[in-house]
């Protein structure tokens, strides 16, 4: 995949993502959150990751519903429950956009150039890289246990939760086995032998990257101003929340 967003320096993209993250946490006002959420839409379109973005949002749906329900039942107002749900989707959208447009290699490079120890940046990029492998493993484990008569969606709630034990244990064990093998293979290839690693590719901020960074700080400044000096219209929903507790 290639797009202007993909080509941005990972550090600039990360600053942008953190910008979205911070501003999202500043507000509980629905209109402010909606604005931040909608500001990401052109970026998603520009990055040509529309369908993957939708899929990732759909993946968060269950969690979103959970957040809404919890805040609705135990919270103070419906508007706040909507706001927290919106906040979750905004943060998720920002991070999905970042991970969908940044390769694990670029991420590793960015971390290294930020003087983060190589062991840590390597661990992080390996974790990111192993996600698809784990997904394939998970499918194989599900297939293997279904072939032994396991019916995941059978029984009451507790039974269904227990049904996942035969899936989770092999998955965790094989992940541990794989990590041990990986560690041994790395050691056999002299991982960490030289303290100061050099890289062929060095990341360099281009004008576009500087522009993104400047806009992010500008956005943060505007958000701070709005937070302290502007009264945002609040959403009044004439629905009483049943008081349970």
Partner 1 sequence: MISIEDVSFHYPGTTQDVLDNVTLSINDGEFVAIMGENGAGKTTLVKMLNGLLMPAKGRVLIDSSATGNKSVAQLSRDVGLIFQNPDHQLFAETVSEELSFSLRNFGFPEDVIQRRVTSILESLDLRKYSNTSPFILSGGERKRVALAATLVWNPKHIIMDEPTIGQDYLQKDRLRNFIVQLISQGKTIIIVTHDVEFVAECNPRVVLLSKGRILADGPATRILTRSDLVTKASLVRPQITELMQRLNEKGAPADIVEPYAARDFLTPKLHAAADAQTSTR
In the complex, the smallest distance separating the C-beta of residue 99 from partner 1, rounded to whole angstroms, is 20
In the complex, the smallest distance separating the C-beta of residue 162 from partner 1, rounded to whole angstroms, is 12
Instruction: Output 132 or 238, the one with its CB closest to partner 1.
Output: 132
Ramachandran angles phi, psi of 87, nearest 5°: -60, -45
Q: Is 100 helix (H, G, I), strand (E, B) or coil?
A: helix
Task: Check binding of 174 to partner 1 (CB under 8 A).
Answer: yes
Task: Check binding of 150 to partner 1 (CB under 8 A).
Answer: yes
- Which among 60-68, 148-156, 179-187, 204-212 is the span making contact with partner 1, rule CB under 8 A? 148-156
In the complex, the smallest distance separating the C-beta of residue 233 from partner 1, rounded to whole angstroms, is 44
Task: Check binding of 147 to partner 1 (CB under 8 A).
Answer: yes
- Which among 113-121, 138-146, 194-202, 221-229 is the span making contact with partner 1, rule CB under 8 A? 138-146
Task: Check binding of 143 to partner 1 (CB under 8 A).
Answer: yes
In the complex, the smallest distance separating the C-beta of residue 1 from partner 1, rounded to whole angstroms, is 15
Task: Check binding of 173 to partner 1 (CB under 8 A).
Answer: yes
Instruction: Output 159 or 197, the one with its CB closest to partner 1.
Output: 159
User: Looking at 6, 39, 134, 170, which residue binds partner 1 (CB under 8 A)?
Assistant: 170
Instruction: Output 117 or 155, the one with its CB closest to partner 1.
Output: 155
Q: Is 234 helix (H, G, I), strand (E, B) or coil?
A: coil
Instruction: Give the separation between CA 83 and CA 222, rounded to whole angstroms.
Output: 20
Task: Check binding of 140 to partner 1 (CB under 8 A).
Answer: yes
Instruction: Output 53 or 98, the one with its CB closest to partner 1.
Output: 53
Task: Check binding of 165 to partner 1 (CB under 8 A).
Answer: yes
**CB-CB contact of 57 with 228 (8 Å):** no
Q: Residue numbers of the site for partner 1 (CB under 8 A)?
A: 137, 140-141, 143-151, 165-166, 169-170, 173-174, 177
């Amino acid at each position: 995949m290639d797009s202007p967003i993909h080509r941005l320096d990972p550090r600039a993209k990360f600053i942008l993502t953190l910008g979205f993250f911070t501003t999202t946490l500043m507000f509980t006002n629905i209109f402010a959150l909606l604005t931040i959420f909608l500001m990401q839409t052109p970026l998603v379109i520009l990055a040509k990751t529309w369908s993957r973005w939708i899929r990732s949002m759909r993946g968060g749906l269950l969690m979103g519903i959970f957040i809404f329900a919890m805040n609705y039942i135990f919270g103070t107002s419906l508007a706040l429950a909507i706001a927290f749900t919106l906040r979750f989707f905004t943060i998720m959208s920002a991070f999905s956009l970042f991970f969908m447009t940044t390769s694990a290699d670029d991420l590793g490079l960015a971390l290294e150039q930020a003087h983060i120890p190589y062991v840590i940046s390597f661990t992080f990029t390996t974790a990111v890289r192993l996600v698809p492998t784990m997904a394939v493993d998970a499918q194989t484990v599900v297939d293997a246990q279904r072939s032994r008569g396991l019916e995941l969606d059978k029984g009451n709630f507790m039974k269904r939760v227990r049904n996942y034990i035969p899936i989770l244990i092999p998955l965790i064990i094989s992940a541990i086995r794989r990590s041990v093998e990986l560690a041994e293979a790395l050691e056999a290839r002299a991982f960490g032998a030289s303290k100061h690693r050099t890289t062929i590719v060095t990341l360099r901020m281009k004008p576009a990257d500087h522009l993104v960074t400047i806009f992010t700080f500008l956005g943060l400044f505007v958000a701070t101003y709005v937070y302290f000096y502007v009264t945002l219209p609040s959403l009044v929903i004439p629905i009483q929340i049943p008081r349970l507790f």
